[in-house]
């Protein structure tokens, strides 16, 4: 039996998605099964982080919230202050961002129209690195934080080939493994239209 098979069997036993990636969701479920306490609701699976991040985290898909909180906490343990600064966007909000630098004032900030960003489905979030209370738009700490995000099982926008987006992270559903981004987004739009869970 391979390690991947073992992980998937454990995930099945603790009733989480058997994707072979033992992230925060899996560890929380194992903890709830093995430790002598009542199950903890998702909203407090990990200790709440700063208020700004929590406001954004609340907009994310429930499956992604644990990852976002874990990211903030693990970064803090490594001496990196980061906050979750962007989460779910409606199609209309995405279209407004897409219009910047094209049909409205400002610089171009995204190549994605409404329905073509993972933010539109609550499975993606952006981080901000801070030095005390000062937001750092550019810092080598974004690359240092990436090691933590990738270790959690998140995809990092800094690894993209067409456009690099170092503050961006997303949790890819297991059914989308190996899919191109455009094919995955088309399926996410279908699931949104039919009110089907994005991770089911």
All domains of the chain in start order, with CATH: 1-40 (no CATH), 49-193 (3.30.1380.10)
* Residue 183 CB neighbours (<10 A): 11
Q: What is the mean pLDDT of residues 69-77?
A: 95
How many whole angstroms separate alpha carbon 107 and alpha carbon 118?
21
Q: Assess contact for 18 and 11: CB atoms under 8 A.
A: yes
For the stretch 89-104, pLDDT in tens is: 999 999 999 999 999 9
Q: 136: alpha, beta or left, given left = phi > 0 and alpha = psi -120 to 50? A: beta
Given pLDDT bands bounded at 50, 70 and 90, which one contains residue 44? very low
pLDDT of the residue at 1 = 77
112 near 165, Cβ under 8 Å? no
């Amino acid at each position: 039996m391979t390690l991947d098979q073992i992980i998937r069997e454990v995930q099945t036993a603790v009733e989480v998605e058997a994707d072979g990636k033992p992230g925060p969701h899996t560890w929380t479920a194992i903890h709830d099964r093995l430790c002598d306490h009542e199950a903890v609701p998702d909203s407090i699976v990990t200790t709440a982080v700063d208020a700004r991040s929590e406001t954004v985290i609340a907009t994310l898909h429930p499956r992604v919230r644990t990852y976002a909180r874990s990211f903030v906490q693990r970064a803090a343990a490594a001496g990196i202050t980061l906050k979750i600064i962007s989460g779910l966007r409606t199609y209309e909000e995405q279209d407004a961002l897409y219009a910047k630098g094209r049909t409205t004032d400002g610089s171009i900030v995204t190549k994605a129209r409404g329905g073509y960003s993972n933010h539109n489905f609550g499975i993606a979030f952006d981080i901000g690195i801070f030095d005390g209370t000062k937001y750092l738009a550019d810092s080598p700490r974004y690359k240092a934080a990436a090691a933590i995000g990738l270790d959690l099982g998140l995809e990092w926008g800094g690894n993209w080939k067409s456009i690099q987006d170092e503050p961006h992270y997303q949790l890819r559903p297991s059914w989308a493994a190996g899919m191109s981004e455009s094919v995955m987004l088309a399926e996410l739009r279908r699931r949104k239209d039919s009110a089907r869970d994005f991770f089911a």
